[in-house]
Amino acid sequence: MNKNTKIYIAGHKGMVGSAVWRALTQKGYTNLIGKSSKELDLRNQQAVTDFYATERPEAVIDAAARVGGILANNDFPYQFLMENMQIQNNLIDGAFKAGIDKFIFLGSSCIYPKFAPQPLKEEYLLTDSLEPTNEWYAIAKITGVKACQAIRKQFGKDYLSLMPTNLYGYYDNFDFNTSHVLPAMIRKFHEAKNNNHAPVTLWGSGTPMREFLFVDDMAEAVVYALENTLPEHLYNVGSGTDVTIKHLAATIQKAVGHQGDIVWDATKPDGTPRKLMDVSKMKGVGWRYTTELDAGIAKTYQWFLENVERIKEVKMD
């Protein structure tokens, strides 16, 4: 890689893609390509083939996907399976046929079995059944991982996959219906603070443990994989540490400045007791996270305050 290497970031408007774009720009990369979904429909194979032929990127970072929470995954299983396979298959196969030697595929920790031992190791992939509520998305992402592995094995190209833990940060989704736990909490505590520090009700007991990674750290991991030739095809990316949901709530409450009570609704489900990534392989090749949870939450809340008026509710169509 050099600073003029032509790099295509698929999904450059999303939380992860925009973070990768920022990281590369800050490092002096000057030849980045991004196309909105209106400019390039990644579900259209011919459109992607034509794009590669015209733009001829030298490296591709695939941060594009149809994403959503448990409700969206459950209500739209076909879209989550088919559209994600279309997007990644067109990008991966198109890049391979266009002679592109470097491809980084971004996935999710949901590719691992529901009852896999903790922390989650890369070798646990395909050893047991998936979490039923998001298996459609997970299966699509698994096919992307295996496609990159197959190209790497058969043709020797540097195609690899990075599986992040729970990400949060700038340009996150703060919609109550489709967001994940951390951004949803930020918005809940913020609105309660503005409502005379009203009590905040949260689901479950607060005892489950979760791992979180600031999205700019994820972007740094992508850049590291871009600039180095890593020896394996699949790497977990995370902090390697987890906290209870109660600890998370207290950290967010402090960052927001909410002074009311937190009420735990034990009639609501807790979900999986623990979900932690084993990140020893990424550490072994020389990368580790730098943003601690309290600092990352403070940065995210500041961004939320600066953009709260234009944050839109995300709806599935």
Has residue 178 been placed in a domain? no
What confidence category does residue 90 fall into, taking pLDDT thresholds of 50, 70 and 90?
A: very high
What confidence category does residue 317 fall into, taking pLDDT thresholds of 50, 70 and 90?
A: very low
Has residue 127 been placed in a domain? yes
What confidence category does residue 19 fall into, taking pLDDT thresholds of 50, 70 and 90?
A: very high
Number of domains in the chain: 1
Could you tell me the residue range of the domain that residue 50 belongs to?
7-171+212-241+276-291
Has residue 287 been placed in a domain? yes
Has residue 248 been placed in a domain? no
Q: What is the CATH number of the domain that holds 62?
A: 3.40.50.720
Tell me the pTM: 0.94
Q: Are strands 234-237 and 158-164 parallel, antiparallel or unpaired?
A: parallel
Q: How far is CA 162 from CA 105, 223, 281, in A?
A: 6, 11, 11
Has residue 53 been placed in a domain? yes
Choice among 29, 52, 112, 137 that is catalytic = 137
137 has catalytic annotation = yes
- Binding-site members for substrate are 188, 203, 210, 270
- Binding-site members are 11-17, 106-109, 141, 164-167, 180, 188, 203, 210, 270
- Binding-site members for NADP(+) are 11-17, 106-109, 141, 164-167, 180
Position 26 pLDDT exceeds 60: yes
Has residue 250 been placed in a domain? no
- Quote the pLDDT of residue 89: 97
Q: Check residue 131 and report its DSSP letter.
A: P
Nearest one of 31, 23, 28, 27 to 7, comparing CA atoms: 31
Has residue 141 been placed in a domain? yes
- Quote the pLDDT of residue 272: 80
What confidence category does residue 315 fall into, taking pLDDT thresholds of 50, 70 and 90?
A: very low
Mutual angle of helices 293-307 and 245-256, in 10-degree steps: 50
Has residue 137 been placed in a domain? yes
What confidence category does residue 316 fall into, taking pLDDT thresholds of 50, 70 and 90?
A: very low
- Quote the pLDDT of residue 312: 55
